[in-house]
Amino acid sequence: MKILITGGNGFIGNKLVSKLKKDTEHEIWVMSSRIEDADKKVVKADLLDRSRLNDIINGYDVVYHLAATGDETLPINELYKINVDGTWNVFDACLENSVKKVIYTSSVGIYGALEKLPGSEESPLNAVSPYERSKKEIEYYIPKYRERGLSIINIRPVIVYGPGSPMWNKIISGVEGGKIAVGNGTNKWPLVYISDIVQALVLALDNKNVINENIIVADNKAYRYKEIVREIQNNLGIKKVVNPYIPVSLLYILSFVNLTANKLLGVPYKVTKDKIKRFVRNREYSISKARRLLDYSPAYDLEKGMKITVDSYRSAGATKK
């Protein structure tokens, strides 16, 4: 098969490309707005260039659509253009070119604050932040594309971690530096190690049971944030140190001050209410559907996955020195 991966230079995309090239005989191409890796077959295109997409998607059997932005400092209309309009453009081009299958990477962020734990594929969509709402917007249109004949496998991962993740490098750095955390640390974070989400994406490739299904992919369990912090500390060699936690009520006051400064002085609005709410949510998801239909079984728990992640972080730091 000839496979195209949008976002193939990203955190998940890079690992997916490597896995497919290593374990399959398929012809793998990466769609990118820039050419930066001589080891990949790259076709240059932009998600917002509809005519170019129609041209370059011709001839592919499967398209993995991973490309998106989670940068919520962008103006909301720009974020929506990339995540929503860009996805519609990919779906339209796939329909136009009779692509057999699209494997789309959504997010459990579409569920927002869960009304009942554990969450499932049928949980109400309560997205709050701009990124979450952009992903939620696409969910409304996926059934319409399916009705028009486009086979879409909709994978909804939880928080992905692993070596090379910019977000997790920042979190580890914060723990290492004793950065103040939000809330009391008892809320649950659903995680999935990078190799496990890639495993799910590869399993979806030839599995007829998951055509036009929506599937959550996560670890076997969710972890309390203070457990995650403690695991990071253990791997950093930090003993008997508890990172201080800031009360949520105080953070909301700081958010109001930040918003006021933003309006009056143009100071960046970084301590947003959406970010606070998202950070302290209690989240946990069932993966029974992924187990049943995909034969998915996570190989990494927090202890195993975080050790590799922190070791990579420390090695990168040593290399820079």
Q: Cα–Cα distance between 30 and 90 in angstroms, integer? A: 14
pTM assigned to the model? 0.90
At residue 38, the pLDDT reads: 59
List of the chain residues with pLDDT < 70? 35-38, 180, 182, 240-244, 318-321
Alpha carbon distance 158, 118 (integer Å): 13
Residue 251's pLDDT is: 76
CATH code for the part of the protein at 2-162+191-222+284-300: 3.40.50.720
Per-residue confidence (pLDDT) for residue 144, from 0 to 100: 97
